[in-house]
Amino acid sequence: MPSPAGITEVLNPADLARLNGLELLASRVVDGLLSGKHRSQLKGGSAEFTEHRGYVPGDEVRLIDWKVFGKSDRYVIKQYIEQTCLQVIVVVDASGSMAFGLGTESKFHYARSLAACLTRLVLRQSDSAGLAVLENGACNYVPPRANPNHFQAILQRLLDGKPSGETSLAAHLTELARRIKRRGLIVLLSDCFDDLPALKQAMQFLRAKGHEIILLQTMAPEELTFDFGGWSRFDCLEVDGTHLNLDPGLVRKDYLENVRIFLADLKRICGETGCDYQALPTNQPMGDALAYYLQRRGSRLKQT
């Protein structure tokens, strides 16, 4: 069970407070039988009334709407959409690149806080939350549960995460897709410094399986400005021993162009695969950024 210090390390109460009243909604109907915030494709049960239809022998008598019989002297039954439990898997990229942070907290810490907030939110709205931490080529998986006490396990896993090594997002997402039986919501917290075509393929695979994907991309402000001066040695955080000695000023233009192209490609892939994309640079207050996103998402979903 994580210590109180550990909890506050990961979960800022101010950020949590910021998320009060917000909910993480799935845009698609979900599977599941438990009562939650999300619609199930399965009709019947004590779910929300949708329509009447004529009684046919074999229907349950309890479903007969007697008010309508009293008015119309016809036997009709009520049909309902049942509200089931949303399964949310938060995938946190703990590759070496996520360890970067100069002027702000590291991307991993940022993503970790995001993950904590999101899972807390999901559990609070009686949905089930799970976690996958992709670390050093391995996937540390916490199966989704709707039990509020499950948050401890998720927190512990987040605390144990140490970003290092290389991790293939695409491979892990594909693996996750095979593991998860129920359709649900995959929230990917990563800088996505990965092979984009492979990532696209993985995302398409997940979408084909009926999952919804939210990509919350974190990047450090230094990675977006590359405002370094003087001859420097850049040590790779993912591969030990890899470094580059260069004058940042001389490569800055090309570097920024590369980043620009990468982000554009990523957004295009998200658009093509129907994934929801949100950029969360680490210099933005996490709570505000997440709250803003959830509000916007909720508004958008309610309109459809």
Partner 1 sequence: MSFLNAAFLAGLPLVAIPLLIHLLSRRQQKRIAWGAMRFLKEAAARRRRLWRLTDLLLLLLRTAAFLLFIGALARPLLSASWLGDSVPREIVVVIDQSMSMSRKVGGTSLFDLQREKAHALLGNLKSRESVRILLAGDSPEWLTPEAVQVTPAAVRKLNEQLDKLQPTLGASDLLACVRDAADLEASKEISSRLIVIFSDRQRAGWQMDERPLWNAIQARMKRGAVPCTVSIEFLTETEPDTDNLCVNRIESPRPFASINQALNLTAQVQNHGSHSSGATLLTWQAAGQPLGITTIPELAPGASTSLSISHQFSAPGLFDITCRIEARDALPADNEAHLLVEVYKQLPVLLVEESNTAGPLEKDSAFVLAALGARKTDGVKTDWRSVFEATVIEPGALAATDLRRYRCVILANVRRVEAIDKLEAYVRAGGGLWIALGANTDTAFFNEQIYRGGLGLSPLKLTAPIGDPNDRERFFAIRTSLEPHPATALLSDFQRLDLDRARVYRRHQFDNLSGKDVSAFLQVQQGDPVVIERNLERGRVLVQSIPLGVSWSSLPLCQAYVAMLHEWLWYLAEPALPKRNLAVGESILSSRGAGETAELTLPDQRTVQLEPAIVSGTAEWRYAGTRLPGEYQLQIVGKVSTQFSVLRNISESDLANFSTQDLEQLHSTDGFRIGLDALAVTGKALPPRYPIEGWLLTALALVLLGELLLAGWTTNRRNLRLAPVSMSA
Binding site for partner 1 (CB under 8 A): 96-100, 102, 107, 191, 193, 217, 219-221, 223-225, 227-239, 242, 244-247, 249-260, 262-263, 279-281
Minimum Å distance from CB 167 to partner 1? 12
Minimum Å distance from CB 288 to partner 1? 14
Minimum Å distance from CB 189 to partner 1? 14
Is-contact 123 129, C-beta < 8 A?
yes
Nearer to partner 1, 84 or 113 (CB): 113
Minimum Å distance from CB 92 to partner 1? 15
DSSP 145: E
Which own/partner pairs from 176-179 qualify as long-range (CB within 8 Å, at least 24 positions apart)? Answer: 176/89, 176/91, 176/132, 176/139, 176/141, 176/206, 177/202, 177/205, 177/206, 177/209, 177/211, 179/141
- Tell me the two tokens of residue 135: 């670390």
Minimum Å distance from CB 141 to partner 1? 24
In 24-65, DSSP assigns E strands to 38-54
CA 138 to chain CA centroid, Å, is: 19
Residue bearing tokens 């949708």:
50
Segment holding 258, helix H or strand E: helix 248-273
Nearer to partner 1, 141 or 193 (CB): 193
Nearer to partner 1, 46 or 245 (CB): 245
Nearer to partner 1, 179 or 300 (CB): 300
